[in-house]
Chain A
Amino acid sequence: MSNAKPAKGIWKVIGASSLGTLIEWYDFYIFGSLATVIASQFFPKTNPTAALLSTLATFAAGFIVRPFGALVFGRLGDLVGRKYTFLLTLILMGGSTFAIGLVPSYESIGFAAPVIVLLLRLIQGLALGGEYGGAATYVAEHAPAHRRGFFTSWIQTTATLGLFVSLGVILLVRHGLDSDVQTSIDKFNDWGWRIPFLVSILLVVVSIYIRLKMNESPLFAKLKSEGKVSANPLKESFTRKANLKMVLLALFGATMGQGVVWYTGQFYAQSFMETVCKIDFEQSRTILIWAILFATPFFVVFGAWSDKVGRKWIMMAGMLAAVVFYRPIYNQFLTASNIQHFEAKELVHESTPQLLNETIQGTAVTTTTVVKTFADGSAYTQKTVSQHNGEPPVVFHIDKKLDNGTYWKFVWLVFVQVIFVTMVYGPIAAFLVEMFPTRIRYTSMSLPYHIGNGVFGGLTPFIALLLTTINTDDQLVGLSYPIAVSAVCLVIGTLYVSNRTNRNVHEHDHH
């Protein structure tokens, strides 16, 4: 590619690639975001086998099938070309997402329902494993060398934007099915949850149409015309020492840390606000939506900056910031949502106590629910559970609604974390592309990316939860996992990764 001017039609290339990748992330996330509703529809806990399939859908799709998809489609992309491979992943993802929206519930067709949903979820994981490497490679191979970071950073916005769109669509549908909020939520839980899945097909069809009109990557087309395409990309990627050591370096010196920073800044932050701080469902989601909206342009900022100063130090600075600032940030979450913070304010309304009497495991239990509203608009629900066996009552504070100032403080705290994400994630596509030769690029960069993002990142919520059950005294102990992984990745990346940018990615095709 010319160093002087951007390649002709680069924006069409970016548009076609980014739209499809965004849709794939959207498709993948709506399943995760609607996990509770999907579980009630397809995986009833009363049926142990269905519950087992639910566990498989959760763990297998993210941890096994995604890296497997990276190998399958990476190989295909290096053999037949980028264009048709990431077209195929889009069709698989779009088709399986649409089909999930059509599967009858467990009540209607019984055991077939969870089996079909599990299979479709596995196809989603497989397709996602193949998509990113194709899109990043395709854009990078069209981009002029001196602006590769800038152009590929548009692809990097898609994962976060996919999350953003999925959250937005779910909130809109959840509230748009009836004028009464509770009726709308009930309708959503009953059948409305299918809409976000079905809507996906429209976007997929548009994206397929656009991608069909695109040409093959010029570097791959040249390689193919010269008969230099790899005969066995898997063997070449993972058995040839010169390449294998770069795959390992990409994983342990970059994508591993990127994965945990990515998941912590977005998913763990939301989960922490909901389960630890007990922030209201809608507020925790809109906080994330605002933070993502404000921070997303920084993917492009850091991607473009990496063209000038190199990829390495921007990514390492993002990991260092995560290591240093995660605990202070989450400490702020705890302090600002502490119940004493609410009780220091003027109480303006206290609802009539609602009493619920039940018998749990042979013990009579009374739950008293009161909603307290304060002068600045903040509120919380207090549940007092009294057991009629002489034990002292237990008080919970849930569904906390933050006042305006605290709400925006939370947006800021999540925004800062998403900035860390943009630092580690913005330049990484260009970084990975420049590590590997064209003939095995799709295969070689896809695997470390999906192990880093899918496995190391995807484990964040489970390990964080596990740590909180081991050490119940420290509410921030869950952060130890992303901090430790980022720290190890920071050391490896700082010492072993080179900051030199390989401008001419096609040059090492000749060695």
Chain B
Amino acid sequence: MCMSTIITEKNNLNFCKIKDMTNLLREWLGWVWMLLGPLSIFYLVKIAAAEIASNPVIDTKIQWGVFIVVAIPIAIGLMMFGWYAWKGEYNRETD
């Protein structure tokens, strides 16, 4: 049952609707964050490959290697964040 400090019944109903919709949005956007992780890695690897191909020196390889090594755990983190969001872990009653 929706809890609210707002006293009138009508206001309480509106508040509950907004809260439910916000929580629904939080959950469904979880899919966006889950997809954004692999998508960003795909583009990063694609750009890295193009950059290394255009200037195949060790400096370029190290630079892009560092970027990818650092980006992979961050992308995994974003996917986990999306998963938690989808599972409603970030839902709440009020702000």
Q: Is B31 an interface residue (CB 8 A)?
A: no
Task: Determine whether the beta carbon of B58 is less than 8 Å from that of A451.
Answer: no
Q: Is B34 an interface residue (CB 8 A)?
A: no
**Which B residues are in CB contact (< 8 Å) with A491?**
29
How many Å lie between the Cα of A245 and that of B89 in the bound state? 8
Among A56, A59, A466, the most chain B Cβ lie within 10 Å of the Cβ of A59
**Which B residues are in CB contact (< 8 Å) with A451?**
74
Task: Determine whether the beta carbon of A251 is less than 8 Å from that of B77.
Answer: yes
Q: Looking at the complex, which of B1-9, B10-18, B61-69 is the stretch in contact with chain A?
A: B61-69
Q: Is A455 an interface residue (CB 8 A)?
A: yes
Interface residues of A in 440-480 (CB under 8 A from B): 451, 455, 459, 462, 466
How many Å lie between the Cα of A49 and that of B77 in the bound state? 35
How many Å lie between the Cα of A403 and that of B67 in the bound state? 41
Given contacts A64-B66, A459-B67, contact A248 B59 (CB under 8 A): no
Task: Determine whether the beta carbon of B80 is less than 8 Å from that of A63.
Answer: no
Task: Determine whether the beta carbon of A495 is less than 8 Å from that of B74.
Answer: no
Q: Is A338 an interface residue (CB 8 A)?
A: no
| Residue of B whose beta carbon sits closest to that of A451 | B74
Given contacts A249-B81, A251-B77, A496-B26, contact A64 B70 (CB under 8 A): yes
How many Å lie between the Cα of A344 and that of B33 in the bound state? 51
How many Å lie between the Cα of A59 and that of B67 in the bound state? 9
Given contacts A495-B26, A495-B29, A498-B92, contact A455 B70 (CB under 8 A): yes
Given contacts A59-B62, A64-B70, A495-B25, contact A245 B90 (CB under 8 A): yes
How many Å lie between the Cα of A466 and that of B78 in the bound state? 23
Task: Determine whether the beta carbon of A48 is less than 8 Å from that of B58.
Answer: yes
Given contacts A251-B77, A498-B95, contact A63 B62 (CB under 8 A): no
**Which B residues are in CB contact (< 8 Å) with A48?**
58
User: A218 to nearest B CB, angstroms?
Assistant: 31
Q: Is A40 an interface residue (CB 8 A)?
A: no
| Residue of B whose beta carbon sits closest to that of A495 | B26
Task: Determine whether the beta carbon of B26 is less than 8 Å from that of A248.
Answer: no
How many Å lie between the Cα of A451 and that of B92 in the bound state? 27
**Which B residues are in CB contact (< 8 Å) with A492?**
33, 81
How many Å lie between the Cα of A488 and that of B35 in the bound state? 13
Tally A residues with Cβ within 8 Å of B: 30
Interface residues of B in 43-87 (CB under 8 A from A): 47, 51, 58-59, 62-63, 66-67, 69-70, 74, 77-78, 80-81, 84-85
How many Å lie between the Cα of A500 and that of B94 in the bound state? 9
Q: Is A499 an interface residue (CB 8 A)?
A: yes
**Which A residues are in CB contact (< 8 Å) with B77?**
248, 251-252
Q: Is A406 an interface residue (CB 8 A)?
A: no
**Which A residues are in CB contact (< 8 Å) with B47?**
466
Please tell me which one of the listed residues B22, B63, B70, B89 contacts residue A55 in the complex, with CB atoms under 8 A apart: B63
Task: Determine whether the beta carbon of B66 is less than 8 Å from that of A60.
Answer: yes
Task: Determine whether the beta carbon of A55 is less than 8 Å from that of B84.
Answer: no
Can you list, as one digit per residue, whether each of A479-511 has a CB less than 8 Å from chain B (1) or not (0)? 000000000100110011011100000000000
Task: Determine whether the beta carbon of B70 is less than 8 Å from that of A252.
Answer: no
Can you list, as one digit per residue, whether each of A38-81 has a CB less than 8 Å from chain B (1) or not (0)? 00000000001001100110011001100100000000000000
Task: Determine whether the beta carbon of B58 is less than 8 Å from that of A252.
Answer: no
Task: Determine whether the beta carbon of A500 is less than 8 Å from that of B81.
Answer: no
How many Å lie between the Cα of A140 and that of B56 in the bound state? 48
Task: Determine whether the beta carbon of A63 is less than 8 Å from that of B81.
Answer: no
User: A109 to nearest B CB, angstroms?
Assistant: 23
Task: Determine whether the beta carbon of B67 is less than 8 Å from that of A52.
Answer: no
How many Å lie between the Cα of A63 and that of B69 in the bound state? 10
Task: Determine whether the beta carbon of B90 is less than 8 Å from that of A63.
Answer: no
Q: Is A244 an interface residue (CB 8 A)?
A: yes
How many Å lie between the Cα of A60 and that of B70 in the bound state? 10
Task: Determine whether the beta carbon of A51 is less than 8 Å from that of B59.
Answer: yes
A–B pairs, 5, beta carbons within 8 Å:
A48-B58, A64-B69, A251-B77, A252-B33, A459-B67
Known contacts A244-B80, A462-B63, A462-B67; can you find 15 more A-B pairs with CB under 8 A?
A55-B59, A55-B63, A59-B66, A63-B66, A64-B70, A67-B70, A248-B77, A249-B81, A251-B74, A252-B81, A491-B29, A492-B33, A496-B85, A496-B90, A498-B95
